[in-house]
Amino acid sequence: MKYDIINYEVIGEGMPVLIIHGWGISSLTMKGAFEPVFTMLEGYKRFYIDLPGMGNSKRGDVRNSDDMLELLHEFAVNVIRDEFMIIGQSYGGLLTRGFVNRYPEMIKKIILLVPCMIPGVRQGQVEPLTVVERDDDFLATLSKEQYDSFTQMNVVLTKEVWDRYEKYLIPALNSADWDFLNNVLEGSFSFDVDDLKDPCQIPTLIIAAKQDCEVGYKDQFDLMSIYKNSTYCAVDKAGHNLQIEQPIVFENLVRSWLNTH
């Protein structure tokens, strides 16, 4: 379905959930991560969106994160039309915090998955790329292009993780408008998303990855002083693609939090 330039898909019934992916990927990645959780739970109506210039959404006249936020707000008002839970991964986590900063009254729950804390490439307290597990026999079967893509930020380099990467990440990466992302879109906001008028009391789950070489895990801990009703977890043996590297830990963590909040 389309709303303006945003392509989206709705699954399930119940409390609306707006699910926002990261930079250069798409709703496909987020469905791969969260559908195994939501199919085990009742009462959630998932809105999987493709951000402008990613997935099946056109770039439109979006130029920066302020424009992104305006479009997301219009989507929430005109399509969701109710209070909702919001989920943001990586850059989507930055957009989510922008939404909470500007429109907290619309949000019922928050999940931040490896959220970007500081706009830009590898800003803040970012971990060095440290591979924790690798299957060299399997890696030898990949083409150079596949190998280079897979090893760029993943830290568990096994066939099981590759299979999920190939299914949920590669098609999303290939669908992105990289000219737009590299040369047009400005990722930062015109305001500090974490400078809230009052501390946020909305129930929040923050999931970070101990070996995350893109956004790290240490800066995310500081969100607990801003999001007062928050749960923070840093998952070991996981990088920026935590959900495909430690899917059982990830799914159990999200499911148990939803069952208690």
Say which CATH topology domain 2-260 has: Rossmann fold (3.40.50)
Averaged confidence pLDDT in the chain: 96
Nearest to 111 by CA among 19, 16, 246: 19
What pLDDT is stored for residue 122 in this prediction? 76
Token digits for 52? Answer: 């402008």
Distance CA(206)–CA(227), nearest Å, equals: 10
Residue 76: CA atoms inside 13 Å, Cβ hemisphere, count? 26
pTM of the predicted protein model: 0.96
- Scan for tokens 């070489």, then name that residue: 213
Query: pLDDT tier at 153 (50, 70, 90 boundaries)?
Result: very high
Burial 42-81 (b: 16+ CB within 10 A, else e): eebbbbbbbbbbbbebbbeebeebbebbebbeebbeebbe
Distance CA(57)–CA(146), nearest Å, equals: 25
pLDDT at position 240 over 90:
yes
**More confidently predicted of 113 and 1:** 113
Q: How far is CA 62 from the centre of its chain?
A: 19
Going from N- to C-terminal start, the domains of the chain cover: 2-260
The tens digit of pLDDT for each residue in 120-151 reads: 777 788 999 999 999 999 999 999 999 999 99
What pLDDT is stored for residue 120 in this prediction? 75
What pLDDT is stored for residue 3 in this prediction? 72
Give start and end residues of each alpha helix (H) in 123-246.
136-139, 144-150, 159-168, 170-175, 178-183, 218-221, 242-245
- Once rounded to an integer, what is the mean pLDDT over residues 227-251? 98
